[in-house]
Chains A and B, each alone.
Chain A
Amino acid sequence: MIPEDEIIRVQGLVKAFGPRRVLDDVSFSVKRGEILVIMGGSGCGKSTLLRHLIGVVQPDAGDIFILGRNICGMDEDQLAEVRRKFGMLFQSGALFASMTVGENVALPIREHSVVDDTIAQLMVKMKLELVGLTGFEHLKPSEISGGMKKRVALARAIALDPPLLFCDEPTAGLDPIMTAVVDTLTLDLCQKLGMTAVVVTHDMVSAFRIASKMLMLYQGKVVAYGTPDEIQAMDNPILKQFVNGEADGPIPLRLSEGDYLKHLIG
């Protein structure tokens, strides 16, 4: 039985693509109102983990409980029911190019509710104001910057006031001021309204500003998990190299010289 305030529980998650274990016995939990920041270098398994959490990929082993229900093995109808309860901000934004900003934000409202058009329009205006984009509803995605698209996608992700939000790189491409706006909004929604969020990010300033808990993945394994203070205090060289953004350390950036030459000449 999953406690009611435990919004996410991941137990012993394993996923391999061919011979490579992309997720290797990953376990963690997130309570209501918490913000879990998932960090790690490119290819460490962050996005794969996120895809498991939203039910797009099924694991080879392990369980994922979202809002008390195990989503592993669910059929598409059951998954659709769970997905209605969370918002998702994709790394790319994933806006519909043929629709205006306002229509993009209104999409989940129209899809999942029967509210009148006037009410939907007011909801869209409120969400756009939250992400600092009041007055942009009539523009097309091609007419706004990359950072603006990201914020439109965030407005769309929170359009239905989900109790749970997944964000893949929410502040990538944003200037420091807009990063702070998005961070403050995420904190407000979680601390004041009890929303729960899982945020994948490389932005360490943002990560330490918003996280209740932090989890670092390295080669598919959880190498660090704790509160920001606990993470700061950990004496883990892999974690330290990543958090401090150092080129030198245990995380290999390149193949060794021998491996490189062998790879090059066969």
Chain B
Amino acid sequence: MKAEERTVNGVAVVDLIGEIDLQSSPKLRELFQAKGKAKCPRLVINFTRVPYIDSSGLATLIEYYQTSRAFKGGLALCCLPPRVKNVFEIARLDQIFAIHADEETALTSLSATA
């Protein structure tokens, strides 16, 4: 898995690329820990190029969600392929995370809460 970072209208966007599994989720955790340490005010995670996420990936996201809540950071997920979206739905995490169909909507949602 690779993670590419960019900024769109002042919002940090991370494009995740590749499968998120037991091998790669520690790398994702490092990225989130850096974002948590920097108290990233608004973060969009783009899943367009993520074909698969396992429970360790979900747990890593939950951990960052908990961290970001503590400093009131905004977090939005977008562009989940159907299979990845199913993983969130089965674990009922679609009720916790703000999941958006496209990046623009995700960015707008965070701008609205800024």
Given contacts A119-B25, A119-B60, A192-B86, contact A159 B92 (CB under 8 A): no
Separation of A119 and B26 alpha carbons in the complex (Å):
9
Number of chain A interface residues as a range: 20 to 34
Given contacts A116-B26, A129-B91, A129-B92, contact A123 B56 (CB under 8 A): yes
Separation of A189 and B55 alpha carbons in the complex (Å):
13
Given contacts A118-B63, A122-B63, A189-B90, contact A113 B83 (CB under 8 A): no
Asked if A122 contacts B90 (CB within 8 A), the reply is: no
Asked if B59 contacts A119 (CB within 8 A), the reply is: yes
Separation of A51 and B60 alpha carbons in the complex (Å):
35
Given contacts A122-B63, A188-B90, A193-B83, contact A114 B26 (CB under 8 A): yes
Separation of A248 and B38 alpha carbons in the complex (Å):
73
* Interface: A127 (CB within 8 A): yes
Q: A167-196: which residues lie under 8 A (CB-CB) from chain B?
A: 188-189, 192-194
What B residues does A192 contact at CB under 8 A? 83, 86, 89-90
What A residues does B86 contact at CB under 8 A? 188, 192-193
Asked if B22 contacts A122 (CB within 8 A), the reply is: no
Separation of A123 and B21 alpha carbons in the complex (Å):
12
Proximity bits, A81-112, B CB within 8 Å = 1, else 0 = 00000000000000000000000000001001
* Interface: A130 (CB within 8 A): yes
User: From B87, which residue of chain A is reached at the shortest CB distance?
Assistant: A193
Given contacts A129-B91, A188-B90, A194-B83, contact A122 B26 (CB under 8 A): no
Proximity bits, B82-107, A CB within 8 Å = 1, else 0 = 01001101111000000000000000
Q: B12-58: which residues lie under 8 A (CB-CB) from chain A?
A: 22, 25-26, 29, 54-56, 58
Asked if A122 contacts B83 (CB within 8 A), the reply is: no
Asked if A126 contacts B59 (CB within 8 A), the reply is: yes
Given contacts A116-B29, A119-B60, contact A160 B90 (CB under 8 A): no
Given contacts A114-B26, A193-B86, contact A119 B63 (CB under 8 A): yes
* Interface: A25 (CB within 8 A): no
Separation of A255 and B21 alpha carbons in the complex (Å):
55
